[in-house]
Chains A and B, each alone.
Chain A
Amino acid sequence: MSTIGIWVGALLTLGILSFLYKDNPFYKLSESIFLGISAGYWFVSLYYQSLLPRLFDNLGVTKLMGASKTDGALQSLFVHGRWDPNIWYLVAGALGIMMLLRLVPKVGWISRWPLAFVVGTTAGLYFTRYLASNALSQIHATLKDFIVFGQPGFVGWANLNNLILLVGVISGLAYFYFSKEHKGIVGGAAKIGIYFLMVTFGASFGYTVMSRMSLLIGRLDFLYGTWLGLLR
């Protein structure tokens, strides 16, 4: 990273961190720069990594514009009379344009068609995958031997883990079973289920804290090491 880049990065980092003290113009400026550059970066990145090679190059639009020497699907079809499956990108391009019509109030309704296409294909794609991976495989993974032989003693760690898993699954399911009032055995199981859920949320929160601390460590390492050169 160049010296100017390091200084800009350091000053913007300090600008963002200054919000921890209180809201201030330096923070606002850093935030606005970040948002603006992010939007610009994503636009350019998606154009050069997706639109240009996938749509324009494959169709041969870049050749038509004189920006490339490689033939695309349009040249294959209309110049050489050869079928090119990349011509299907015309449909994708048309759907993309239809999506953009959302910006024109009078014909905005057309954008629902590509949206319907996306929703339909995604639902179809995920239906079988979720059923196989998140339902069947998970049920299979939960069906464990209640007693694992070959462990030191009757209650080895594996047995204890399997017992916790069994109790956790049954009590968790009991908590989300609403066809019967949570009283008696079902109520007791549901209460144990709540404790399991609380432990889950606690673990999740703990991981989130670790993640946020990691980000701060990364930034401070940049400030002390890369910017100030204080670290070995």
Chain B
Amino acid sequence: MAEQKEVGFWNSLMRIDRRIIFLFIFVAISVPMFLQINLKIPTSPEVESLVATLDKLPDGARVLVSLDYDPGSEPELQPMAETFFGYALRRKFKVIVIGLWPQGPIQAERAKPIAERQVGRQFEYGIDYVNLGYQAGNELVIQRMGSSIPQTFPVDYFGKPVADFPMMQGVTNFSNIDYVFNLSAGYPGTVEWVLFAVDRFNIVLGAGNTAVQAPQVYPYLGKQLKGILGGMKGGAEFEILTGLPGRAVKYMTGQTFAHTIIVLFIIMANIAYFTTRKKEQGGLS
């Protein structure tokens, strides 16, 4: 009788309504948002490598930031952009923003004030920050920038001639850029930067990717890619290592809870599967 009850429980688990699982996930993500739970976030070598490369740059280095994503990927990539701008402000980097996706430069304009509030300093437009906007052409834009950045982007995002900005004086091509940081949600993105800029023009590249895209760019890690921020976890590690805790750290608690629920469901589903199968096979014999 007790055994029948047990198998009945596992059988019902096999037929569980998917909406119950959704409810569990919903609760697992919602509850931590209202509680101040700080979980320890260990850092990984790929994020440490990215930050170490940034730390080696001299103060006032000229960095190019390519934001190749749209609002659909904002929860994962926008915290990385905010942290990078915050770090750049602290190190007095000269930041040149571009976008291979039309919405990329807009995302930069949204991330900038958040970083400025966090650090307590402001970028001076044209002196230590310039947004060159979007340029159509995908990987061809990268290729053309290798020959001439001012010709590829003759005017900035607001329509002003790029040659008028003091920080753009002396910038001809990638040889005048100390570091490239790419935030990518797909094509064109990190893969194209590796193919057309790293291996051809020897730029130093670090990348932040959506979690879906991260496994695709991992093989480049090392010589071709000096560090990866993989999804929200990578973003949270980046915030910790740079000492600029932001949204990714805050979101990671919900992420951890949701993953725990999913793992528990996978374990229970496997137990249910093998238990009911064993019973069915026993019944057949």
Residues 12-42 of B at the A interface (beta carbon under 8 Å): 19, 22, 25-26, 29-30, 33-34
A200 to B215, alpha carbons, bound, how many Å? 8
Q: Does A179 contact B (CB under 8 A)?
A: no
Confirm or deny: B233 has a beta carbon within 8 angstroms of a beta carbon on chain A. yes
Residues from chain A with a CB closer than 8 A to the CB of B26 are 220
Which of A134, A200, A203, A231 has the most CB atoms of chain B within a 10 A radius of its CB? A134
Q: How many residues of A contact B (CB 8 A)?
A: 39
> Does B223 make an interface contact (CB < 8 A)?
yes
A216 to B251 Cα, complex, angstroms: 11
The distance in angstroms between the C-alpha atoms of A92 and B112, with both chains bound, is: 36
Contacts of A220 in B (CB 8 A): 26, 29-30, 33, 254
> CB distance B33 to A214 under 8 Å?
no
For residue A204, CB closer than 8 A to chain B, the reply is yes
**Given A207-B214, A210-B255, A213-B29, CB of A133 within 8 Å of CB of B194:** yes
**Interface presence of B259 (CB below 8 A):** yes
Instruction: Decide: B30 and A224 in contact? CB cutoff 8 A.
Output: yes
Task: Check A132 for interface membership: any CB of B closer than 8 A.
Answer: yes
The answer to whether the Cβ of A178 comes within 8 Å of any Cβ in the partner chain is: no
Residue A173 at the chain B interface, CB threshold 8 Å = no
- Looking at the assembled complex, report how far the CB atom of B245 sits from the nearest CB atom of chain A, in whole angstroms: 15
Q: Is there an interface contact between B195 and A21, defined as CB atoms closer than 8 Å?
A: no
User: Does B212 lie within 8 Å of A207, measured CB to CB?
Assistant: yes
Enumerate chain A residues within 8 angstroms of B231, measured Cβ to Cβ: 207, 210-211, 214
Q: Do the beta carbons of B223 and A231 come within 8 Å of each other?
A: no
B1 at the binding interface (Cβ < 8 Å)? no
**Inter-subunit contact B199/A133 (CB<8 Å):** yes
CB pair A141–B136 under 8 Å, yes or no, is no
Contact between chains at B136 and A217 (CB < 8 Å): no
| Nearest-Cβ distance from residue B210 to partner chain A, whole angstroms | 5
A residues in contact with B155, CB < 8 Å = 53
Cβ-closest chain B residue relative to A50: B136
Taking CB atoms, residues of chain A closer than 8 Å to B233 are 210
Count, chain B residues at interface, CB 8 A: 48
A93 → chain B, closest Cβ, in Å? 14
Residue interface mask A90-131, B partner, CB < 8 A = 1? 000000000000000000000000000000000001100110
B196 contacts chain A at the CB level, 8 A cutoff: yes
For A216, the closest partner residue in chain B by CB is: B29
Q: Could you say which residues of chain B place their CB within 8 Å of the CB of A28?
A: none
Contact check, A130 vs B195: say whether CB atoms are below 8 A apart: yes
- The winner among A132, A140, A209, A210 for most chain B CB atoms within 10 A is A210
Q: How far is the CB of B273 from chain A (nearest CB, A)?
A: 17
Asked whether B199 lies within 8 Å of A137 as measured between CB atoms, the reply is: yes
A129 touching B199, Cβ below 8 Å: yes
Q: Taking the complex as formed, is A20 at the interface, i.e. its CB lies under 8 A from any CB of chain B?
A: yes
Interface: A221 (CB within 8 A)? yes
Contacts A133-B194, A210-B259 given; indicate if A54 touches B215 (C-beta within 8 A). no
* Seed contacts A20-B19, A129-B200; 9 additional CB < 8 Å A-B pairs: A45-B103, A53-B155, A133-B194, A200-B215, A207-B230, A210-B259, A214-B232, A216-B258, A217-B254
Q: Could you jot down 18 A-B contacts, CB within 8 Å?
A: A45-B102, A45-B103, A46-B136, A129-B195, A207-B211, A207-B215, A208-B211, A210-B259, A211-B211, A211-B212, A213-B25, A213-B255, A217-B75, A218-B75, A218-B251, A220-B29, A220-B30, A221-B247
- A-binding residues in B (CB < 8 A): 19, 22, 25-26, 29-30, 33-34, 72, 74-76, 102-103, 133-134, 136, 139-140, 143, 155, 194-196, 198-200, 210-212, 214-215, 219-220, 222-224, 230-233, 247, 251, 254-255, 258-259, 262
